[in-house]
Structure 1
Amino acid sequence: MSTQHYDVIVIGLGPWGSSAAWHLAARGKSVLGLDKFAPPHMHGSHGGATRLARQSSSAGAQYTTFTKRTFELWDELAAKTGTRLLERSGTVFVGEPGSMWFDKTVASLSASDFEYDALDASTARKRFPWATIGDDEVAVWEPNGTVALVHPAIKALQSEARRLGATLRTGEAVQGWDESASGIVVSTDQGNYSADKVVVTVGARANHLTQLDLPYKVDRQVLANFRQDGLPKAAIYFAKPPGSDEAPAYGCSEPNGEWKFSVPGKGNWIDPEDLSQDLRPGDLERIQEVLSARLPDIDTNPVSTTVCMWSEVEDGHWVIGGHPESSDVVIGTGDMGRGFRYAAVVGEMLADHVDGISRPETNLFLPSRFAIAKA
């Protein structure tokens, strides 16, 4: 029996993989997308209904270019599919000057032409009376900050990829890939396929399917939804005090009227195959303590909880680019907890690598920056 051949096979159809399939199909490629699960799902980093999508970035001012482009692409996709993908609610970022995350956020806004207001504690309290803001804290307000709608966004990426000719197969587990005279042969639990190029976007499971030991760890994160009445539609971050490198607590209003809140920890390392929706002792109490102190009008009895994970790369940047040992394989992993809002532009980056297009501004993501051993 002959093996069906494609220009590109995309392994993993979460937000990055679905976006890559969209961009590649739009460039006229024959595309096969494969996923063990059926995204959107609860087995990776995109679990839940929303993801915050602010314009600022705590990763550095160099992300400004990618921020502008990703919002352009999300708007383009929304227009093509007739789907609302972003809820423009505005974003508040609260913190003390000297806090690493807060200072980097302000620096990224200062280096951009994004609209924002810098507020002292008194002004911030008057504008956001529903939030507790300390005397030593200040805030920045981004009126164009958004909340991304996870399920509509992934479904829109996939539907547009299919409309452009891509074949997307879910519920089919990829077991591995090998180079051959006819290209890359991808083996699944249902058969074999071949392609000129392969894109691997399996998130936290990347080391297995790239056959590498990429320098990232997988951090378990817990989100909780709460009832709220009367709070405005908005997203808010509370930076940890100066000296802490932990990510800020954050929350946002959801389309169903609930409020989502999370207090990220650091060092809750897990094997991605062990991800479970079961809560551990202290998970909920950690969130409730900060929530009651920061947003006192919210009922701290949760409506629901979600456990997800993100991949933390040792230098804080994504891993996007050519496989160091196979010129026909492209890798995309290491979301760093900010991968969803950038998915539209990350898919474009991955498609560029498939096409051999080099863009200097994306060189900081290349896998070749690390000395990588085989897994």
Structure 2
Amino acid sequence: MEQKIYDVIVIGAGSMGMAAGYFLAKSGKSTLLLDSFNPPHNKGSHHEDTRIIRYAYGEGAEYVPFALKAQELWNDLEKATGKQLFLQTGVLNVGPEQSDFIQNIISSSETYSLPLDVLYSREVNSRWPGISLSNEYIGCFEPTSGVLKCEECIEAYRVLAIKHGAEILTNSRVKEINIHDNRVTIKTDDQTFQSESLIVSAGAWSKELLSQLDLNLPLEPVRKTFAWFDAAEKLYNHKDFPAFAFETIQGLYYGFPSIDGSGLKVGRHDGGEKINPDNQIPGFGELPEDEADLIQFLNAFMPHSQQLKYGKTCIYTLTPDENFIIDLHPKYSNIAIASGFSGHGFKFSSAVGKNLAELIILGKTEQDISLFSINRFN
């Protein structure tokens, strides 16, 4: 029996890959998605319920159009599925007034006419009694932003991708990639597949896979932790309390209100230990600083929270500048790459998926993605 040749194979069916699979299948491309696990799963960056989406962007105004497009596509996904995937809790960003983080947020809001309340510390403390800010900090509250239900988003794209004809093969790790006469051959443990085009969006495993395609990218997988704490629901429930990001002397922390009694969720964005994703990653609490680091943040800024409920780990895949990689392979125009999302990528994954589909189908994107070029590493 003659082997089927797909239009596109996607390696890595997580947030970016699953969205790309949907947009490809919807456009009529025969699409196969391969994943080492069964998405949504807990082996990557985008599991455990929630991720923040914000538009006035502390990492730089260049991200704002991308974030706004992503939100438009999340709204489309909600309409297509009839599910609530976004909670408009607002997002409170806190930091020293002259920090790059805060100044980028303010300038982003001004450039793109985004609603933003700039608040002195006493105004923050009065508006949200669960927060205790000292005078060296200010708050920037973005009322239209909020929280995405990350696992439900991935599952929604999975359902729609299959509905449009995509095939998804789970628990199937890719062992070998070959390119010959502009055709792609993919080998797993027990099967071989062929396609005209390829997308690699394999998170912490991207570096290893791309090395088979003569591409050595500076990608660094890092262990990250986050945890839920018992909290006074009257102060921290998601109808009264925002998602947040705090730039402090100790580091950059982020978190979420208590959603349906889940507890206050807190993580640290910077720091972390370099890892090999194929090795056993220490669970939350196996390193003594895991809980202590988050407790010191809460004691300083949200003292009405209480004891630890439980914690989890995930993986960031960092680039040196912490900007993403979304581009075509420098040698192969039929291979698109999405990696290095550096701990702030999930909110964009709807737009990343659309851009990956456009790279494969059109060879270019509607949006400007030059910030994410591979060539910046040369």
Q: Distance in 2 between matches of 1:166 and 1:2?
A: 20
Deviation per CA, 1:140-199: give whole Å up to 9, x if none.
111112111022111001111111111111111111210124710111123011101000
Match of 2:222 among 219, 224, 232: 219
Where does residue 248 of structure 2 map in the other structure? 240
Residue type at the aligned position of 2:377: F
The answer to whether the Cα contact below 8 Å between 2:46 and 2:151 also exists between their aligned partners in 1 is no
Query: RMSD of the TM alignment (CA)?
Result: 1.6
- Secondary structure at the residue paired with 2:333? strand
Where does residue 112 of structure 2 map in the other structure? 112
Where does residue 286 of structure 1 map in the other structure? 293
1:55 aligns with 2:55: yes
TM-score, structure 1 as length reference: 0.93
Residue 151 to residue 358, structure 1, CA distance change in 2 (3 Å): closer
How far the C-alpha of 1:267 sits from its partner, in A, is 5.1
Where does residue 268 of structure 1 map in the other structure? 273
Residue 34 to residue 4, structure 1, CA distance change in 2 (3 Å): same
- Secondary structure at the residue paired with 2:304? coil
Where does residue 42 of structure 1 map in the other structure? 42
- Secondary structure at the residue paired with 2:368? helix
Q: Distance in 1 between matches of 2:322 and 2:155?
A: 28
Q: Distance in 2 between matches of 1:360 and 1:18?
A: 20
The answer to whether the Cα contact below 8 Å between 2:207 and 2:219 also exists between their aligned partners in 1 is no
Deviation per CA, 1:290-347: give whole Å up to 9, x if none.
1122111111x22111101112211221111111232221110011211111000000
How far the C-alpha of 1:108 sits from its partner, in A, is 1.8
Where does residue 340 of structure 1 map in the other structure? 346
How far the C-alpha of 1:265 sits from its partner, in A, is 3.5
TM-score, structure 2 as length reference: 0.93
Q: Distance in 2 between matches of 1:47 and 1:254?
A: 17
Q: Distance in 1 between matches of 2:103 and 2:318?
A: 20
| Ranges in structure 2 where 5+ consecutive residues have no aligned partner | none
Where does residue 142 of structure 1 map in the other structure? 142
Alignment of 1:364-375 (within 5 A): 364-371=371-378
How far the C-alpha of 1:272 sits from its partner, in A, is 2.0
The answer to whether the Cα contact below 8 Å between 1:15 and 1:154 also exists between their aligned partners in 2 is yes
Q: Distance in 2 between matches of 1:338 and 1:250?
A: 11
Where does residue 259 of structure 2 map in the other structure? 255
Q: Distance in 2 between matches of 1:281 and 1:271?
A: 20
Matched-pair identity in %: 29
Runs of 4+ in 1 over 6 A off after TM superposition: none
Residue type at the aligned position of 1:52: I
Residue type at the aligned position of 2:356: L
Q: Structure 1 stretch 68-77 or stretch 224-233: which is displaced more?
A: 224-233
Residue type at the aligned position of 2:219: Y
Alignment of 1:1-375 (within 5 A): 2-181=2-181, 183-211=183-211, 212-228=215-231, 229-230=233-234, 231-233=236-238, 234-241=242-249, 246=251, 248-257=252-261, 258-266=263-271, 268-274=273-279, 275-278=281-284, 279-299=286-306, 301-355=307-361, 356-359=363-366, 361-371=368-378
Q: Distance in 2 between matches of 1:130 and 1:254?
A: 12
Deviation per CA, 1:39-65: give whole Å up to 9, x if none.
111111113111111222122101111
Q: Distance in 2 between matches of 1:134 and 1:350?
A: 44
The answer to whether the Cα contact below 8 Å between 2:355 and 2:367 also exists between their aligned partners in 1 is no
